[in-house]
Amino acid sequence: MDLTFESAFSAGGMLGHASYLLLVLSMAMRRMVLLRLLVVASAVVGITYAAAILNDPVSTFWESLLITTNLVQLGWTWLADRRTVFSNEERALADNLLPGLPPAASLRFIRQGAWTDLAQGTILVRQGEPVASLAWIAAGEVGVMIDRRHIGHCGKGEIIGEFSAMSGDPATATVVAVTPARVWMMDAERLRALAGRGDPTALALEAGLSRDIRRKLGRANRRFLEMAVRAAATAPGVPIRDCPAAP
């Protein structure tokens, strides 16, 4: 096929465009399974284009090999996920910290950390000092203090130290177990190394940490709003009324 404007946008040419479009879309996928499925779809369209339009056996061969390789990888992933067995704690941690990551990859990441039982009064993080480990609370409750003043608490399913563990900056608060607690912990340096790889595990971790941060910010905003309302209600001479509707 000679390259002309008409051939580039003919029905056959659109098959070629579709093949590359699917390939480009696959690169935008955060989940490896979706990436591989789109690569397979791209190769199927590419084979149709190479064989039916271009009559190109070389491209047909390599597109076929691309399909085979990705199908084998998908099969291995499926088998690994089928054989993966989580404990209840590991399942809850994977759902909270690694949303969307396949089970086998989630378990590999989780087992690079360690489960620890903390006595009441154990300090996890000290204000002004580097955070040694990221922590996820499986059971129990911790208190959060700034300059020895209690400002809040965290409980089951929440992440501790994500800001400083990821950045390496000193902690902005002290976190101490106010009840016996069970936590999963991962060394901060190892965590930063894993997060910097840019692979699906790192992307899932980024999504999990971002979701936890949004949840904490939302809770903090609600708490500050409640404090402001209480302060206004008790202030002398300050009337409380509903906000008027927008015109």
pLDDT digits (tens, 9 = 90+) for 63-89: 999 999 999 988 887 887 778 788 899
Domain residue spans in the chain? 7-83, 88-233
Specify the residue for token string 């699917």. 22
Local confidence band at 51 (pLDDT 50, 70, 90 cut-offs): confident
Instruction: State how far the Cα of 126 lies from the Cα of 146, in Å rounded to an integer.
Output: 10
pLDDT tens column, 199-234:
778 888 888 888 888 887 777 777 777 766 666 666
Does residue 96 surpass a pLDDT of 80?
A: yes
Identify which of 176, 175, 202, 167 has the alpha carbon closest to the alpha carbon of residue 97: 202
Q: What does the mean pLDDT of the chain come to?
A: 83
Taking phi over 0 as left and psi of -120 to 50 as alpha, with beta for the rest, 136 belongs to: beta
Summarize pLDDT for 155-178 with one digit per residue, the tens: 999 999 888 888 889 999 999 999
State the Cα–Cα distance between residues 210 and 105, nearest whole angstrom: 19
pLDDT at residue 177 in the model: 95
Q: What is the CATH number of domain 88-233?
A: 2.60.120.10
Distance separating alpha carbons of residues 217 and 236, to the nearest angstrom: 31
Q: Residues 201, 109: contact at Cβ < 8 Å?
A: yes
Assigned token pair, 10: 């003919």
Place of tokens 């204000």: 127
Asked if 220 contacts 172 with a C-beta cutoff of 8 angstroms, the reply is no
